[in-house]
Amino acid sequence: MATFGERLKELREERGLTQPELAEALGVTTNTIFVWEKEKRKPGKDFDPFKAAKFFDVSYFYLMGISEVRKDEEAELSDEEVARMLDEDALIYIIGALKKYRDLSDEMQFMVRQTLENAYKADRERAELRSQRAAERGKTYEDKIIELLDSDYFNEAVKAVFYPENGDK
């Protein structure tokens, strides 16, 4: 899988842009583009990857080297919409997990992707089955989700998943 620097250089060259031209378009210095492409430094908090992805007409995940899919035209939500749905702490957790993922070998990355895909499929199948069963009993699955989201049990479970180091805090 390509790194951010490799992907940035690839996209810049596809567009026939020089480093100074890209730097101007993204609002950074030419030296910044140079060090990113050479993998000497990663983008900081002042860099807007969504703006850069939009400039190149690719997904955020493709630009950052997380996905090989350039642009998912069939996605129900854009990268920006997904980011707005998550709170800042969840995003920090996810970004940390993605950084660890990028450090894995190609074989381990493949295993992680397969595991996530299988878990997603199984969850969708279970959700469909639960929805069918709930509908048979006269209550929609959406009603049950709303009840669950309002429960203290759900809130405690979310805290345990996203903030395991806080223990009982």
Per-residue pLDDT of 33-90, as tens digits, reads 999 999 898 888 778 888 888 899 988 888 888 777 787 654 555 666 566 556 666 6
What pLDDT, in 10s, does the model give residues 113-152? 888 788 778 888 888 887 777 666 766 666 666 666 666 6
* CB neighbour list of residue 14: distance below 8 Å, 6 or more residues apart: none
Q: How far apart are CA 82 and CA 24, in angstroms?
A: 28
For 17, the token pair is: 């842009």
CA distance 61 to 87: 18
Check: pTM over 0.75? Answer yes or no: no
At 45, which amino acid appears?
K
* Residues in Cβ contact with 86 at an 8 Å cutoff, skipping those fewer than 6 apart: 94
Instruction: Tell me the mean pLDDT in the region 5-16.
Output: 94
